[in-house]
């Protein structure tokens, strides 16, 4: 394994994942967390691209060489979801993603991560340097709130489609049953047998 982390390295991203908070990273910065990946509003900004998001695997892996496939897939899925939400929430005109490995590749935090950056025409991202210091929690919070609102709205819009897909799947399954089993299924679903009915609960 290729590693550049110093001896005794205390990973700030692992600290955040464990519930820790600092002035640079806070739990209120987290906008999306899945089983294997987490996204949060970053504290390092560029002047014309404020509010960018970092996506990390929920297990410590220093770089892309060390990253298991399942975590790579999970990070990619979250990157895409954040990009879609950011485009709507910020009203930006494009999205860039960045991922760095080793010092020669621009890496300076020793936990694999992907930057999701809002882009605007003429923003000069690649010709500019990051702003000095770090954005405060108060400065980061409005961006987190915007993203959370859109992500929740997207989840709400997906849920009816998921319910429809479940219902359609049940209908197809019933259509494939022999005639006598279809009748039995209909009786059971109507409640005439008095049996408990299994219900699909929406994701909270």
User: What is the tens place of the pLDDT at every residue in 13-67?
Assistant: 999 999 999 999 999 999 999 999 999 999 999 999 999 999 999 999 999 999 9
What pLDDT, on a 0 to 100 scale, did the predictor assign at position 194?
A: 42
Q: How many CA atoms lie within 13 A of 74 on its CB side?
A: 19
**121 pLDDT exceeds 70?**
yes
Asked which of 1-10, 157-166, 187-196 is least confident by mean pLDDT, the reply is 187-196
pLDDT tens column, 77-116: 999 999 999 999 999 999 999 999 999 999 999 999 999 9
Proportion of the chain in helix, strand, coil states, percent, rounded to 5: 45, 10, 45
Q: 0.75 exceeded by the pTM?
A: yes
Cβ neighbors of 181 (< 8 A, separation 6 or more) are none
Please give the distance of CA 159 from its chain centroid, rounded to a whole number: 17
* CB proximity list for 164: less than 8 A, separation 6 or greater: none
Model pLDDT, residue 169: 61
Predicted confidence at residue 202, as pLDDT, reads 30
Average pLDDT across the chain, whole number: 86
Q: How far is CA 135 from the centre of its chain?
A: 21
Domain boundaries, the chain: 12-156, 163-190
Q: Looking at the annotation, which residues are catalytic?
A: 113
Give pLDDT, residue 1.
Answer: 83
Q: What is the pLDDT of residue 161?
A: 66
Structure tokens given for 125: 């991202």
Q: Do strands 94-98 and 53-57 pair parallel, antiparallel, or not at all (unpaired)?
A: unpaired
The pLDDT value given to residue 176? 53
Give me the pLDDT at residue 165, please: 64
Round to whole Å and give the CA distance between 149 and 151: 6
What superfamily in CATH does domain 12-156 come from?
A: HIT-like (3.30.428.10)
d(CA 113, CA 59) in angstroms, rounded, equals 11
* CA distance linking residue 119 with residue 137, whole number of Å: 22
More confident residue, 2 or 189: 2
Using CA atoms, how far apart are residues 167 and 9, in angstroms rounded to an integer? 51
DSSP string, 160-185: HHHHHHHHHHHHHHHHTS-HHHHHHH
């Amino acid at each position: 394994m290729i590693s550049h982390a110093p001896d005794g390295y205390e990973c700030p991203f692992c600290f955040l994942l464990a519930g820790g908070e600092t002035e640079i990273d806070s739990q209120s910065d987290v906008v999306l967390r899945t089983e294997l990946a987490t996204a949060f509003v970053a504290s390092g900004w560029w002047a014309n691209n404020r509010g960018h998001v970092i996506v990390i695997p929920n297990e410590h892996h220093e770089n892309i060489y060390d990253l298991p496939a399942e975590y790579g897939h999970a990070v990619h899925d979250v990157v895409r979801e954040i990009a879609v939400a950011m485009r709507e929430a910020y009203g930006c005109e494009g999205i860039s993603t960045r991922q760095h490995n080793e010092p020669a590749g621009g890496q300076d935090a020793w936990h694999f991560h992907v930057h999701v950056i809002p882009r605007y025409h003429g923003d000069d991202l690649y010709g500019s340097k990051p702003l000095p210091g770090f954005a405060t929690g108060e400065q980061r919070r409005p961006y987190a709130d915007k993203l959370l609102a859109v992500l929740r709205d997207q989840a709400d819009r997906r849920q009816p489609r998921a319910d429809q897909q479940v219902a359609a799947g049940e209908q197809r399954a019933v259509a494939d049953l022999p005639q006598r089993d279809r009748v039995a299924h209909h009786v059971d679903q109507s409640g005439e047998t008095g049996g408990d009915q299994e219900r699909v609960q929406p994701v909270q």
